[in-house]
Amino acid sequence: MSALNRPFSRHALVFSLALSAGTLCAACQSNEPQVVLTQEQWSQVREHILEEAPEPEHAIGATYNDAIELIGLDIDGELKAGQEVTFTWYWRALKDVKRDWQIFVHFDSQVHPLRQNLDHYPVDELYRTSLWKEGQIIRDSQTFVLREDFPTGDALPYIGLFRGDERAHVEGENITEDRRAIGPTLKITGNPQREAGLPRHEVRRISEAQAQSITIDGKLDEAVWTDLQSVSLKGFNPRAPYESNVKLAFDATHLYVAAYLEDEHVWGSLTEHDDPLWTQEVFEFFIAPGGPNAPYVELQVSPQNTIFDARFPHRPGSKAKSRDEDITAAKPFAMEGLETAVHLEGSLNDEESKDRFWSVEMQIPLAQLPGVDGAPEPGSSWRANLYRFDRPTEGQTFAYGWSTRPRRDFHDINQFGTLTFGGQAGAVPVRNNAALPEVEAPAEAARERLRRRIQKERESAPE
Q: Which CATH architecture has domain 197-460?
A: Sandwich (2.60)
Pick from 409, 317, 314: nearest CA to 370 = 314
- For residue 423, the model assigns a pLDDT of 76
> How do beta strands 244-250 and 200-205 pair?
parallel
Phi then psi for 134, rounded to 5 degrees? -50, 130
Question: Do 211 and 189 touch, CB atoms closer than 8 A?
Answer: no
Question: Do 160 and 181 touch, CB atoms closer than 8 A?
Answer: yes
Q: Which fold has domain 14-190?
A: Immunoglobulin-like (2.60.40)
Question: For residues 23 and 396, what is the distance between their CA atoms, to the nearest angstrom?
Answer: 61
- pLDDT tens digits for the chain (463 residues)? 433 333 334 344 333 323 233 333 333 334 555 667 788 888 889 999 999 989 999 999 999 999 999 999 999 999 999 999 999 999 999 999 989 999 999 999 887 677 899 999 999 999 999 999 999 999 999 999 998 888 888 999 999 999 988 999 999 999 998 899 999 999 999 876 555 678 999 999 999 999 999 999 999 999 999 989 999 999 998 888 899 999 999 999 999 999 999 999 999 999 999 999 999 999 999 999 998 889 999 999 999 999 999 999 988 888 878 889 999 999 999 999 999 999 999 999 998 899 999 999 999 999 999 999 999 998 899 999 999 999 988 788 999 999 987 777 889 888 899 999 987 654 344 443 332 223 333 344 445 544 555 455 555 544 4
Q: What is the 3-state secondary structure (H, E, C) of the chain?
A: CCCCCCCCCCCCCEECCCCCHHHHHHHHCCCCCCEECCHHHHHHHHCCEECCCCCCCEEEEEEECCCEEEEEEEEECCCECCCEEEEEEEEEECCCCCCCCEEEEEEEECCCCCEEECCECCCCCCCCHHHCCCCCEEEEEEEEECCCCCCCEEEEEEEEEEECCEECCEECCCECCCCCEECCCEEEECCHHHHCCCCEEEEEECCHHHHHHCCCCCCCCCHHHHCCCEEECEECCCCCCCCEEEEEEECCCEEEEEEEEECCCCCCCCCCCCCCHHHCCEEEEEEECCCCCCCEEEEEECCCCCEEEEEECCCCCCCCCCHHHHHHHHCCCCCCCCEEEEEEECCCCCCCCCCCEEEEEEEEEHHHCCCCCCCCCCCCEEEEEEEEEECCCCCCCEEEECCCCCCCCCCCHHHCEEEEEEEECCCCCCCCCCCCHHHCCCHHHHHHHHHHHHHHHHHHCCC
* Spatial CB neighbours of 458, under 8 Å, sequence gap ≥ 6: 230, 232, 243, 245
Question: Do 332 and 191 touch, CB atoms closer than 8 A?
Answer: no
* Spatial CB neighbours of 421, under 8 Å, sequence gap ≥ 6: 202, 203, 205, 250, 375, 376, 377, 378, 379, 380, 381, 382
Question: Do 363 and 299 touch, CB atoms closer than 8 A?
Answer: no
The amino acid at residue 141 is: S
Question: For residues 353 and 87, what is the distance between their CA atoms, to the nearest angstrom?
Answer: 62
Annotated domain spans of the chain: 14-190, 197-460
Question: For residues 8 and 263, what is the distance between their CA atoms, to the nearest angstrom?
Answer: 56
Question: Do 105 and 157 touch, CB atoms closer than 8 A?
Answer: yes
* Spatial CB neighbours of 360, under 8 Å, sequence gap ≥ 6: 218, 257, 258, 259, 261, 283, 301, 340, 341, 342
